[in-house]
Structure formats: structure tokens, C-alpha cells
Structure 1
Amino acid sequence: MLTKYVLGFAFDLPEEIAYGDMNTQVGLIRKVRPEWQSGYLNGIGGHIEEGETAHQAMVREFKEETGLFVPNWSGVTVMSNDYFNLAVFKAFNVPLNDMESLTDEAIGIYRAHDLQSDVIFNLRWLIPLSLDPQMYSSSVVCK
């Protein structure tokens, strides 16, 4: 059965300056589960519920995790294989300082251009991809 997820990267600066500004910040979550992600930082997201679009799920998940209603998500890429489908989104000009940790997984603010070793491995290319001003959308098929 194919499980569908969303993952979002919320940046503090407007899109037109975020890519080139070395101080651009991104909101990330310190994962507790699933076990393979425990202790690592990831983007904010979760499952797409029955009857939801990926965009609706991204808006809902971000509000559930951070307390912020952010409607202006745009698609970055879709990653999929035989088991999962992951829609990746980005949003700019988000008031990251207003985020709250509403679950047992801590929300934090990090420099997008200076990620440490404790991030989920694919964030090292997904975040730069999200910031790329020439990137409109893409699709990645994982086998």
C-alpha cells in the first residue's frame, strides 16, 4: 500500500532574497519517530489524510506542529517509490519566531546554509533545491 506524506521547509525571508542570503533561516523539527529519524532534524510535515490534497495536508500539518497557519506553500518536488509518495513544499516570509512546539517533537530555527550533521540526509539537497530561484518543480522516482 502506498503511503502519502508531505514535507515542508518554511523560510524566514522573502523568496527573492532567501537564496543568496547566507543568514536565511528555516524551521525544522527534532524527530522522535519513526525510529530511523529519532534525534535528527527534518522538515515539518506528516501523512496526507483521506480526501485531502497534498497542499491541504501541508497547511494542516504545519499548523498542527507549529501553531502557525501558513497558506502560501508551493511545490518543490515529489519523491516516490513502490511504498511512499512524498510531496515537498516551500514557503517564504514565514514568522519563524512565532512557531511553537505543539507535540513531543521540538520545533527549532536553523541557518539554511549551515546545516549540521544531525539532519536527515536528504535535507542537504532538498533545502538548497527549495531555495533555488530557478527551480519551479521536479519529480524524483526512487527505486
Structure 2
Amino acid sequence: MNPDTRMKFVCGFLFDKNKKSVVLIRKNTPSWQAGYMNGVGGWIEVGEEPFDTMRREFDEEAGMRLDGWKHFCTLNNKDAVIHWFVDRVNYTIDHGHEKMTSVIRVTSPEPVYWCPVDQLGTLDLIPNTRWLIVMAMLGSDAIQGNVWPYDIWEPSMPYTGS
């Protein structure tokens, strides 16, 4: 059997207590993601487990070290494997009339925001981000008879349209 040489990543969504806000990052790189919002994540380093990568990446990019990440989905395509995680804090975010509130200490060149879930339709999201957020919000019993993590194959990135 041939070794799996695909690139390996993690990405995650942090929700507030009532799942009314989610943390998203506005991507600068890679070029096909530039300007779009996505979950926070990055490369899995050699010898690193996905959970440890998720914890490290969120700490590096959003300045928060969280230990409650749950693996809810693995997306596969011919080029990459992306392990998706979800976590929740036990407080709520008040956005007032703002579409996005930058309340997270930014430790990377890409800004990180708390975004109101009911405003996601107004944001420029990477195409699969919308349904992944819904899947993460619904929890492990989202599809009767199934449990996390889901294992999904999708077309290869980059996406060329909306």
C-alpha cells in the first residue's frame, strides 16, 4: 500500500456559549483563500497529532489556548486531508449592530473575528465553510444514526467559483 502523501491540515470553529457567534479568520494566504473567511487552523507538523495542531494553531493565530476541541469531520480530496474541530466558550458575545467584532488578540497577520452566526450569509466565506459551521453547530447527533467524526470526500481545492 502506498503511503498517504496528501497535505494534512486542521481547521476549527470556536462558538460562544449560545452558538450565536463563531470565530473566523480573514485569510491572506494561500492565494485562492485571500479575502475569504474561514475557521482557524493550519498545517499538521511531522509527528504532531491533529488535536495538538488544532490547539497550537488556535493559540498562535487567536491567542487562546483551548483544550476542549472535538474532532467532528475529516474532509478528504486527492490533494489534502483536513481534520475539522469545534469548541465552545462559556460566555456570550454581544455584537450590537456590528457584522463582525474584532475582540480576539491577533497574533498573526490575518485578522480573527467573533462573527454573528445569523450574519454569515453576508460574509465572504470559503464555499464549504457555511455547511461545516452548520454541521459543527448541530452536534454529533446531527444525522440520526451517525456519530462524529464524519469522513467526507469533496472536490479538490482551490475552488474557482462561489
What is the TM-score with the length of structure 2 in the denominator? 0.77
Which of 92, 107, 111 is the aligned partner of 1:106? 111
Looking at structure 1, the residues matched to 154 and 81 of structure 2 have their Cα atoms a distance apart, in angstroms, of 10
Displacement, 1:82?
A: 2.0
* 2:144 corresponds to 1:132: no
Looking at structure 1, the residues matched to 47 and 132 of structure 2 have their Cα atoms a distance apart, in angstroms, of 27
Displacement, 1:103?
A: 1.1
Aligned residue for 1:128, secondary structure, equals: helix
Aligned residue for 1:61, secondary structure, equals: helix
* 2:8 corresponds to 1:4: yes
Distance 1:94 1:39, change over 3 A: farther
Rg comparison, structure with higher value: 2
Q: How does 1:91-102 map to 2 (within 5 A)?
A: 91-93=87-89, 99-102=104-107
Aligned residue for 1:113, secondary structure, equals: helix
Gaps of 5+ in 2: 94-101, 156-162
Aligned length: 135
* 2:95 corresponds to 1:83: no
Looking at structure 2, the residues matched to 27 and 5 of structure 1 have their Cα atoms a distance apart, in angstroms, of 18
Asked whether the equivalents of residues 25 and 110 of structure 2 are also in contact (C-alpha less than 8 Å), the reply is yes
Q: How does 1:23-42 map to 2 (within 5 A)?
A: 24-42=20-38
Asked whether the equivalents of residues 11 and 94 of structure 1 are also in contact (C-alpha less than 8 Å), the reply is no
Which of 51, 57, 60 is the aligned partner of 1:61? 57
Displacement, 1:76?
A: 1.1
Quote the RMSD (CA, aligned, Å).
1.7
Asked whether the equivalents of residues 7 and 46 of structure 1 are also in contact (C-alpha less than 8 Å), the reply is yes
Percent of aligned pairs with the same residue? 32
Looking at structure 1, the residues matched to 36 and 64 of structure 2 have their Cα atoms a distance apart, in angstroms, of 22
Task: Report 1 or 2 for greater relative contact order, CA contacts < 8 Å, sequence distance ≥ 6.
Answer: 1
Displacement, 1:98?
A: 6.0
4+ residue runs over 2 A deviation: 94-99
2:9 partner amino acid: Y
Looking at structure 1, the residues matched to 135 and 35 of structure 2 have their Cα atoms a distance apart, in angstroms, of 24
For residues 68-88 of structure 1, give each alpha carbon's deviation from its aligned partner in whole angstroms, at most 9, with x where no partner exists.
101110011000122100000
Residue 153 of structure 2 corresponds to which residue in structure 1? 141
1:93 partner amino acid: V
Displacement, 1:123?
A: 1.1
